[in-house]
Structure 1
């Protein structure tokens, strides 16, 4: 039996004496996107940090492909940064305005030493830009020359250039206008169809519904509900899930 791409078992995390996560368990199968939803303070950011190896759980374990992952192990952390990459909320602050796009997108190749030749780096950058719908000559320009949606495409290109198995997207469209949101969601869907597995961390059930086969609902650091997205949205069992579903605006339907 094939091990899940990612598995969390009873994850807990405590800031000083305050628990931010308690007993969080879930799996992510290959090719099956997961949405993690909840209001501010639900524990989404803490869980994201654990998934990316930016923090270690106080309790419980995280495994990738059936192998326990410990962020304190430098070699394991290096492998994990090839395995999982992130896209963050604000495309304006996540890109260095002083660097050309080609340099920005190639950063993971250089920091992880994945490509030794300059030609190899240029090829990988061009492939990543093409995958997100940007022309190759975008590599010679600066972030300020692009719209917000294009900047988020640049951030996605940077995330996929090391060819990760998992993309963790933290509120990937919340800083964008509605029409641009739809286009970025379509892009993430196409990358997922190409073999990339996506975990979407969001307060917006509409975005999650458009991208994710499964959804996990966090409230105050605990999982209150999880399951297939369509079933969870059609018949939410927990009052907190019903509250989120009633309160959060949806993406417009696509014709």
Structure 2
């Protein structure tokens, strides 16, 4: 089966830089599968996400969507790509325009992709807000009227309103408190089951990775050093760097500690 997203020996270096940010990375993401990209800050996780989003061109190698090379000049392909791949960002407040009502924010992908107009988007916006557990009057309110967790639900509604195949998430719960984080993780799991979403997620939180993703790729200095089933990678790591990541997770002391 053709992967929905694929990185084939991809490298990326900033102009004038001697060292690449990511180097010789090959990853495949199948339909309905979820993949976590983990590693320390500066490992190249967000750069890979930008490459998968088509926001950055690789210095070498190929990014493919549905088997087709992602060519930014191919308008038809990029139209299919923009409808099929959406993103949720880390900070739910800065990613939402404070001057616009929630209904207008969530409808933006529908309008920009030509799927609905401002006058016809209402029912799909209402359904998207309902799916993420927001009240019926949310569409008429502004971002500052919501909590951080509710704003992230708005961001998820915006990303899923056009029913994409793939959701790319950059630290989607790191800006939230623990209780809210659990609720948003449960929401993402529910959307995965109900909509068959493919999820690619960058995260420092290995507990979130274990809850959401079947596969995990571990990055160190721009290279994938380990990849496989999440339970195996986190439970019995084969690479010393992965072992250090797992051992660095804070744990509550036991009754005898």
Instruction: Give TM class, smaller chain.
Output: over 0.9
SS in 1 for 2:13: strand
TM-score, with length taken from structure 1? 0.94
Match in the other structure for 1:36? 37
Moved more, 229-238 or 76-85: 76-85
Deviations 1:132-191 (A, max 9, x none): 111231000111111110000000000001111000010000000001000000000001
Match in the other structure for 1:6? 5
Q: Is the 8 A contact 2:111 2:118 kept in 1?
A: no
Match in the other structure for 1:69? 70
* Distance in 1 between residues matched to 2:152 and 2:118, nearest whole Å: 27
* Distance in 1 between residues matched to 2:86 and 2:53, nearest whole Å: 7
SS in 1 for 2:37: strand
Match in the other structure for 2:189? 189
Deviations 1:204-242 (A, max 9, x none): 211111100000001111000000000111100111111
* Distance in 1 between residues matched to 2:249 and 2:174, nearest whole Å: 12
Match in the other structure for 1:84? 85
Task: Answer yes or no: is 1:118 the counterpart of 2:97.
Answer: no
* Distance in 1 between residues matched to 2:162 and 2:57, nearest whole Å: 23
Match in the other structure for 1:253? none
What pairs with 1:1-255 in structure 2 (closer than 5 Å)?
2-16=1-15, 17=17, 18-116=19-117, 118-119=119-120, 121-194=121-194, 195-249=196-250
Q: Is the 8 A contact 1:204 1:249 kept in 2?
A: no
1:249 deviates by: 4.4
Q: Is the 8 A contact 2:107 2:118 kept in 1?
A: no
SS in 2 for 1:23: strand
Q: Any gaps of 5 or more consecutive residues in structure 1? A: 251-255
* Distance in 2 between residues matched to 1:249 and 1:207, nearest whole Å: 14
SS in 1 for 2:64: strand
1:246 deviates by: 1.5
* Distance in 1 between residues matched to 2:143 and 2:118, nearest whole Å: 25
* Distance in 1 between residues matched to 2:223 and 2:118, nearest whole Å: 46
The count of residues paired between Structure 1 and Structure 2 equals 248
1:117 deviates by: 6.4
TM-score, with length taken from structure 2? 0.93
1:29 deviates by: 1.1
SS in 2 for 1:118: coil
Distance 1:249 1:31, change over 3 A: farther
Q: Any gaps of 5 or more consecutive residues in structure 2? A: 252-257
Q: Let me know the Cα RMSD of the aligned residues.
A: 1.3
* Distance in 1 between residues matched to 2:231 and 2:73, nearest whole Å: 37
Q: Is the 8 A contact 1:206 1:249 kept in 2?
A: no
